[in-house]
Amino acid sequence: MRRFVRILVVGDEGVGKSTLITSLIRETFVANIQHIVPEVTIPPQVTPENVTTHIVDSSARPEYREQLEAEIRKAHVPVVLVGNKIDLREDHDASSSVEEEIVPIMSDFKEVETCVECSAKLPMNVSEVFYFAQKAVLHPTAPLYDSRAHVLKPACIEALKRIFNLCDADKDNVLNDDELNEFQRKCFNAPLQQQELEGVKEVVKDNEPDGVNIVGLTEKGFLFLHTLFIQRGRLETTWTVLRKFGYGDDLTLREDFLYPRLDVPPDCSAELSPNGYQFFIDIFQVFDKDKDGALKDDELEHLFSTAPENPWLNTEFPHTTITNEAGAVTLQGWLAQWSNANLVGLTFVLVIHNHIVISMTTLLDYKKALAYLAYLGFEGDTRTALKITRPKKIERRKNNITRNVFLVYVFGAAGSGKTSLLRAFVNKPFTDGYTPTSRKLNAVNSVEIEGAEKYLVVGAKLTPNAHQQRAMFLLQEFGSKYEAEILQNKRKLEASDLLCFVYDSSDANSFSYIADLRKRHDLDHLPTIIVATKSDLDLVQQRHEVQPDVYCRNLGLNTPISVSVKERQTADLWILQTSIAMHPANATPGLSDSSHGSSRVKRYLTATAIVGAILGAAFVGFKLYLHHRGLGHSATK
């Protein structure tokens, strides 16, 4: 709502403009006053609407024309038509003729909100004149109601329908008594007595039979009540409701409501707080109408009906996160998407069946996350749904990460298996064939580690129970076209928690690509892991000055982790990446030989590498055995 109202009193010479203002201030008639009285400021505590009110006098004389035009531009727009000096009217029946003159004026000029007759001399209706002027600014009719057709305007109907949907907690398309009382508490700070509730429903039933049913008030009934409020001059009731739900005078959601100020210092990020996670858990459960633990397309459509659109429209969502067999997004996948939404400044491109689809940038920053919290009906200050993390440099120095949202950049030569790795991360099946990556790809999921469930962007936190924690990871893969863009951009590079370099262990030239990539860019200050893919195929000697295991030891890193997506052998890669993200010094070149080297994570990395090597050797041996028996088959990448 506005903090002040500026009222300009305009009229011909001698109509009583200055006298009217003086009569309001002095509360009595003053016969002889100056031509133009100085501007008057009325403090908020003495006005019904609790806003500061400025009242400005004017003159109709030609020499004041320029000043008058300037004041008109500064004044608030609605017009109240005032008939002064009714004490001089001798014919008491003249009121009907006055009304006949005023009605056509109000019909032709929609700026005219209302008409008031008064007398500054008696005084009579003086305070009402300025009250209606103030009310016309604070609670205008024009945005809400078509006075000619006597119906709510479309924008008002859409806003009230959205409010109805948000207040319908159980999503049965009816406001029961509890929901009506919660609505009353939110908007007017007081519940209705049962007798008052029944009286409201009775009024609706008498005028709009479809507005009430056995459960409570329907959408039709809700709209009828607000039409009735406006027709009876109680516009402040409807405006109070609209403003409580974030609407401005133009009936769009206010900028400060959607995007409240939230300062995120450099090197920090915004994550969902426990309040934020609980909100997304609750809304998931409410819209999961069939209680199958997943949201189907129609349930998602209903969920996003109070927002401008589904934020993942045209992106093949939810196939790039965790879904059930029917393709509906699970709670785990749902939370992963919103955790991912709070990573700042990233570009999100989804991949499904190895085809790149439309880029999604709308949610990958905390401002958009705040907006969607508001759209979906988060109660209270949406900023409480987020928390600001400690600076990354401080956390890396302490080698103890308290954040719960992590970002992993995945680099590698064409055909090295990066896309398959990302698809495996979100439990998508392996597909033969190769499609070059032409845009950035994302995969987001959660990971369990050390007895607690962690989300691996390849990032976020969920605490449905006090003992359970999650960390969210976003794996982000770049085709060769975009790798240089990321590696040369210090801000984007510093946003990552882990660099994952992937090479094809069956391709002799694959490792040289990532070694040369690292050589061209200064990356030794960032946590690093190297992954050898396609361990189900024959291991080949890499055409590089040193072999991968020696290369890693020279950097103080653990040897490459061998995986086979095709055979579903990932050697706990996701848990490993989570461990590194939480204890980055153990996998940072130049730091990993320090006292951190004997840590639990360091030992875990080594153990995982050994297990991966043993599994790889066993698999190769089994393939040789099959070949000897004549049961072998041609290798595919």
Report helix, strand or coil for 291: coil
Report helix, strand or coil for 472: strand
Which distant-in-sequence residues (6+ apart) come within 8 Å of 352 by Cβ? 316, 319, 320, 428
- The answer to whether 471 touches 454, Cβ cutoff 8 Å, is yes
Tell me which long-range contacts 13-17 makes (C-beta under 8 A, separation of at least 24): 13/59, 13/60, 13/61, 15/84, 15/85, 16/84, 16/85, 16/120, 17/57, 17/58
What pLDDT is recorded for position 310? 86
Mean pLDDT to the nearest integer, 528-545: 95
Q: Could you give the C-alpha distances from 594 to 400, 586, 590, 597, in angstroms and in order?
A: 15, 8, 8, 6
Confidence band for 506, pLDDT divided at 50, 70 and 90: very high
The backbone torsions φ and ψ at residue 304, rounded to the nearest 5 degrees and listed phi first, read: -90, 15
What pLDDT is recorded for position 598? 39
Mean pLDDT to the nearest integer, 79-98: 77
Pick 485 or 315 by higher pLDDT. Answer: 485
Mean pLDDT to the nearest integer, 497-504: 92
- Res. 225: pLDDT tops 60: yes
- Cα separation of 209 and 529, whole Å? 67
- Res. 617: pLDDT tops 50: no
Confidence band for 368, pLDDT divided at 50, 70 and 90: confident
Determine how many CB atoms are found less than 10 A away from the CB of residue 475.
28
Taking the whole predicted model, whether its pTM rises above 0.85 is answered as no
What pLDDT is recorded for position 400? 72
Lookup result for tokens 């858990």: 281
Mean pLDDT to the nearest integer, 549-574: 90
Question: What percent of the chain lies above the pLDDT cut of 90?
Answer: 50
- Res. 439: pLDDT tops 80: no
Q: Which of 333, 329, 334, 341 is nearest to 298 (CA)?
A: 329
Give the tens place of pLDDT for each residue, 148-207: 889 999 999 999 999 999 999 999 999 999 999 999 999 999 988 999 999 999 999 999
- Cα separation of 444 and 455, whole Å? 8
Confidence band for 620, pLDDT divided at 50, 70 and 90: very low
Mean pLDDT to the nearest integer, 284-302: 94
Burial of 426 (0-12, 13-18, 19+ CB in 10 A): buried
What pLDDT is recorded for position 353? 26
- Cα separation of 239 and 509, whole Å? 68
- Res. 398: pLDDT tops 90: no
Q: Number of helices (H) and strands (E) in the chain: give both, helices first.
A: 22, 22
Confidence band for 450, pLDDT divided at 50, 70 and 90: low
- Res. 605: pLDDT tops 60: no
What pLDDT is recorded for position 444? 73
Lookup result for tokens 């001399």: 121
- Cα separation of 534 and 564, whole Å? 5
What pLDDT is recorded for position 296? 93
Q: Which of 61-65, 74-78, 309-313 has the lowest mean pLDDT?
A: 309-313
